[in-house]
Amino acid sequence: MDVVVVWTGRSAGAFQRALRMTNESFAAHLKIAPRTVAKWHATPDDEPSSQMQRILDTAYAEADIPVRERFKLLLNPPREPQAAALRVAIAVVLRGAEVLLVQRRDGGDLHWQFPAGVVKPGADTAAVAVAETRAETGVHCTVREPLGSRVHPSTGVQAHYVLCEHLMGEPANLDPAENAEATFVPIAALTRFIPADRIYRPVLDALGVAA
């Protein structure tokens, strides 16, 4: 049988709810004054006297199994499972002194970014980066190295950056619903398309772009 090491007003109240009793019936069950039960509710962090601790111990020991199970659930309710954070693979694709960008439609605005795609549970970020680049732009690339990850400051998603090398294909906008354009731009001109303070520092370092 579980043992309550120290009773507090909160745990005594949980025991009362597990028994499904009113203040008056709980007080009668413990053979104490109703004002004592009311005090436990008013000061849930306080510990009852040692005599009251023994009274609660005895009552709990005599409680049937369903009551004790309800009591444990009331004290430690099961936590809601947290949704997995959205993960995105971002491909930084090099072709000589150029880097691949797509112009993303964002409501009524357009902004430039590196090709990117959502990483589903169990998927490999590098593989997603390569596949999304091909799906968005028609460019075939291969992974050179991962550049790290961060919580993206604008979107709040977990962004994984992958440095890639161009293999073949000229960029084309193959996802017109999401993008307006796809093109290689000179690395030296990158910050004209994406402000330096929005680019992950390891990406700038890998491209040799001063912040």
Q: What is the pLDDT of residue 75?
A: 86
Q: Which amino acid does the sequence have at 105?
A: R
Q: What is the DSSP string of 27-58?
A: HHHHTS-HHHHHHHHH-TTSPPPHHHHHHHHH
Let me know if residue 190 belongs to a domain: yes
Q: Is the predicted pLDDT of residue 210 greater than 80, yes or no?
A: no
> Number of structural domains, the chain?
2
Same domain, 57 and 141: no
Same domain, 129 and 53: no
Same domain, 115 and 189: yes
Give the pLDDT mean for 109-113: 91
Same domain, 184 and 97: yes
Instruction: Give the residue from 53, 75, 97 where a domain finishes.
Output: 75
Same domain, 20 and 68: yes
Same domain, 91 and 194: yes
Same domain, 99 and 62: no
Same domain, 34 and 115: no
Q: What is the pLDDT of residue 50?
A: 93
The CA distance from 42 to 22, in Å, is 15
The CA distance from 27 to 184, in Å, is 78
pLDDT tens-digit profile of 145-184? 999 999 988 788 999 999 999 999 999 999 998 999 999 9
Q: What is the pLDDT of residue 108?
A: 73
Range of the domain at 167: 87-207
Give the pLDDT mean for 2-27: 91
Give the pLDDT mean for 60-79: 89
Same domain, 164 and 119: yes
Let me know if residue 28 belongs to a domain: yes
Q: What is the pLDDT of residue 81?
A: 59
Among 84, 100, 103, CA closest to 92: 100
Phi, psi of 112 (to 5 degrees): -90, 145
Same domain, 111 and 165: yes
Same domain, 118 and 186: yes
Rg (CA), the chain: 31
Give the pLDDT mean for 36-56: 93
Let me know if residue 179 belongs to a domain: yes
